[in-house]
Amino acid sequence: MAEGDLASLKITLTRSNLDENESVGAVHAPLFPGAKFEEWWLLVYDNRGRRMIATDMMLGTGRTCKSTVNFVVPRPGDFSWTVYAMCDSYAGLDTHCDVHFRAAKKSEVDRSIFVHPEDAEIRTLFEELMMGLDQEQESDSEEEEEPASRENQMQKREAKKAESAKAVEVVEAEVADADGAVSNEEPKEPEQASKSKGSISDDEDEEERAIPEGVFIRVADTTGTFLYREPDEAALALAPGDDFK
């Protein structure tokens, strides 16, 4: 044993008036209100330090009763203790036993622990928790780096969209009429194309305004649905002999 170790003191109490496989009965106490059995108090006392080390109680009724008292070795050196066994039912049965032992210093004892190579690879619960935290931190750092890369990708996509839009505007500027005939004029710039688009849309609005109400208008668009207006009965009324156009 060394200083600071957790030690155990094993105490055995033997009743010499009993044989093996026998047990003691109740205490002879006619004035006691109920059945009373023996109880033994164990006191571990340090004679040098003059202090109580530990206490315990034995409740067994057999020939042999055992108890274990755990304590921490307070210092190195020689120890002289005394264990007292005191009966709570009979007078004159108290007994005691001396205990002598020696504790070494921490530097005098080899506390190296042998670890099997296969067991050395086993991680403790604390290590697994720490590894999980490290992985979470790495994932957080990766997530922080991802937005920057995403921004670069978005910028590249926007640049590609702008280039494709310019190409589409140049192609639309080459179209001269609705029949699909392509003119020999040079392609217009994007700004000129947008201006021509605006003028075309204005002309279309004027044509729509010139059309009287009550006439069905069917507009076919590759990207939309059919549009129509509610019919005007007064406009649809035909004079005798007129043909519907």
With a cut of 50, say whether residue 182 has pLDDT above it: no
Residues in the chain: 245
* Backbone phi and psi for residue 159, each to the nearest 5 degrees, phi listed first: -60, -40
With a cut of 50, say whether residue 183 has pLDDT above it: no
With a cut of 90, say whether residue 83 has pLDDT above it: yes
Contact yes or no for 194/179 (Cβ under 8 A) = no
With a cut of 90, say whether residue 84 has pLDDT above it: yes
DSSP H helical ranges for 175-245: 190-210, 233-236
- At residue 177, the pLDDT reads 46
Cβ-Cβ contacts under 8 Å for 56 (sequence gap 6 or more): 11, 41, 42, 67, 69
Region 117-144: mean pLDDT is 74
Question: 28-32, 204-208, 238-242 — which one is most confidently predicted on average?
Answer: 28-32
* pLDDT band at residue 161 under the 50/70/90 scheme: confident
More confident residue, 93 or 187: 93
Contact yes or no for 99/12 (Cβ under 8 A) = no
Region 211-236: mean pLDDT is 56
Record the pTM. Answer: 0.45
- What digits encode the pLDDT tens for the residues 187-210? 445 455 455 545 555 666 666 665
Ordered by where they begin, the domains of the chain are 6-117 (2.60.40.150)
- At residue 19, the pLDDT reads 87
* Backbone phi and psi for residue 66, each to the nearest 5 degrees, phi listed first: -125, 150
Question: Of the ranges 59-68, 76-85, 120-129, 137-146, which one carries the lowest mean pLDDT score?
Answer: 137-146
* Backbone phi and psi for residue 23, each to the nearest 5 degrees, phi listed first: -140, 155
With a cut of 70, say whether residue 31 has pLDDT above it: yes
